[in-house]
Chains A and B, each alone.
Chain A
Amino acid sequence: MSQAIKTEKLCFTYPGVEDTPGVAVFDGLDLTVDEGDFVAVLGGNGSGKSTLAKHFNAILLPTGGTVWVCGLDTSREENLIPIRRQVGMVFQNPDNQIVANVVEEDVAFGPENLGIPSGEIRQRVDAALNQVGMYAYRQHAPHLLSGGQKQRVAIAGILAMAPKCVVLDEPTAMLDPKGRREVLDTVLQLNREKGITVVLITHHMDEAAKAKRVVILDQGRIAAQGTPAQVFSQVDLLHSLGLAAPETVELCHALNAEGYSLPLDRLDAESCAQAILDAITGEETT
């Protein structure tokens, strides 16, 4: 399987202002994201999550090491536009990434920039809006939509550019639970049905639990990575990094402290309940 994104010994330091020294974020970070993968990047505040996301789209350039996106080196200027055509980016605040005052015009913004003929733009815009379930709102003004809807419009704007990879930087941080679910379902669907590589930066454990792979960042280093079940079962490590495991794992962990021996890889409520039930009935029979 080929790699959508690969960082090799990535170093990055935010330049200091005047006499103050710069802030080093990464010092030799190696990370790969396979094509078609769904990677969730977790980490506390200041762990470098958002800085990492900005490297995937050549908004920030490494001060050392290399970032390869679809086989292109981000530090070469002639690669800038090809990279941004391949990697779409969705930001935290939906209000600050919508350009036009009609939904469909905003979705058309990206393809218009690429110089695509108008007939094809129309098709792409309609397809992208259908994909995120916002076609009925195509004539609306963005400021009258809910947060979740705005974020889906932003995703449609990226999809209309037909990228191979989508990087979402805390897309649900400003949304209510309903909006969060809408956005997450849309992202999952893109990954599953269209095979788009997804990098989801988040601090919600339940969102990360739906990914194929989880990467935990701590102070610019990878603290843990693997499948959600592998990563979240290391509850003590998570706690030491100031993170919490998904609620089901936390519950099993707390019960284990009381003398049970429950598995720590149950990420949804149903299988967790089953595990607890099994433990209780098993105890009664013995």
Chain B
Amino acid sequence: MLKDITLGQYFPGNSPIHRLDPRTKLILLVVYIVILFVASGPVSYCLCLGFLAACIAVSKIPPKSFLRGMKPLIFLMCFTGIMNLFFTGGETLLVKFWIIHIYLEGVIRAVYMILRFIALICATFLLTYTTSPIALTDALESLLRPLGKLGLPVHELAMMMCIALRFIPTLLEETDKIMSAQKARGADFETGSLIQRVKALIPILVPLFISAFRRADELATAMECRCYQGGEGRTKMKQLRYGRLDASAFAVTLAVLAGSIALTVFGL
């Protein structure tokens, strides 16, 4: 069933990572990416990966779900690894075969790149696994607010994201219904060539779009009825507030950043 798709893959919970302010998590993700790119030696890499592993352990999210999330990206990871393996020059030649030269430096670099990739993906997943989509939207709106002064419609963007998230399950359900109705009248979505199957989707998309527009119209009326006038003068029920937990999270992450810079300076 299409309905069973989980959205944003949020795992509800009450771990310290879950309780962090979503803005903190977003900012710290960016900081962590910086840390990853600063790290250059084995010790600093261990520090990065150890820090991430500790965060995952604290969040109590089953590590298996990270592996599952990584599956679609395996090809990209291998590709990056192989490219680095073959095209990195160096001094210690390991393999020489036809035009392929593999150096020790290339092997090390490939391993580092793959590790960096894995850490990057896991850190991003940690954010989406521990933060509900609505909290993420709120955080984005709050962090981007300064850009509002430059004319970026921050509130409108956040509202659009929120409504899109809200209607994904509704539209999936509707797609399901339309497909059943078409199947009942003999439509065939499963067999035939790729082109035939794509063509078979058109009778689904047309009613789906029409109904989506009708929904949008009704929703706009309903929102107007509830005095929606854009972001100006609007308050929030749940206000984001930085707490002591956020302060300690910042302190720990910045310490890791400092550590990894120091290690890099000493070439470790």
Contact = CB atoms under 8 A, between A and B. Distances in A.
Interface of A: 57, 59, 81, 84-85, 88-89, 91, 93, 95-102, 104-105, 108-118, 121-122, 125, 141-143, 157-158, 161
Contacts, number: 92
Contact of B225 (A89, A112, A118, A142): A89
B195 interface: no
Contacts of B227: 81, 84-85, 110, 113-114, 161
A59 B173 CA distance: 30
Contacts of B229: 81, 113
Given A96-B215, A110-B227, A143-B169, A102 B134 contact: yes
Contacts of B162: 99-101
Interface of B: 132-134, 162-163, 165-166, 169-170, 173, 215, 218-219, 221-229, 233-239
B233 A84 contact: no
B225 A57 contact: yes
Contacts of B234: 112-113, 115
A120 to B, nearest CB: 9
A99 B161 CA distance: 11
Contacts of A93: 215, 218
A101 B218 contact: no
Contacts of A89: 222, 225
Contacts of A122: 237
A17 to B, nearest CB: 16
27 contacts: A57-B225, A59-B224, A59-B225, A84-B225, A84-B226, A91-B222, A96-B215, A96-B219, A97-B219, A98-B166, A99-B163, A99-B222, A100-B166, A101-B162, A101-B166, A111-B237, A112-B237, A113-B227, A113-B229, A113-B234, A115-B234, A117-B235, A118-B238, A125-B237, A143-B169, A143-B170, A143-B173
- Among B162, B228, B237: residue with most chain A CB under 10 A: B237
Nearest to B219: A96
Nearest to B220: A96
Contacts of B235: 111-112, 115-118, 121
Given A112-B235, A112-B237, A113-B234, A95 B222 contact: no
Given A81-B229, A113-B234, 8 more contacts: A81-B227, A95-B215, A97-B218, A100-B162, A101-B166, A113-B227, A125-B237, A141-B169
Contacts of A97: 218-219, 222
A88 B218 contact: no
Q: Which 6 A-B pairs have the closest CB atoms?
A: A97-B222, A108-B237, A96-B218, A110-B226, A143-B169, A121-B237
A26 to B, nearest CB: 20
Nearest to B211: A96
A99 B162 CA distance: 8
A81 B234 CA distance: 14
> Among B165, B221, B225, B239, which residue has the most Cβ atoms of chain A within 10 A?
B225
Contacts of A115: 233-235
Contacts of A117: 235
A157 B226 contact: yes
A267 to B, nearest CB: 32
Nearest to B162: A100
A95 B134 contact: no
Nearest to B233: A115
Contacts of B239: 118
Contacts of B237: 104-105, 108, 111-112, 118, 121-122, 125
Contacts of B224: 59, 84
Given A59-B221, A111-B237, A121-B235, A101 B165 contact: yes
A84 B226 CA distance: 7
Contacts of A158: 226
Contacts of A116: 235
A278 B137 CA distance: 66
B208 to A, nearest CB: 14
A207 to B, nearest CB: 21
Nearest to B226: A110
Contacts of B223: 99, 109
A50 to B, nearest CB: 11
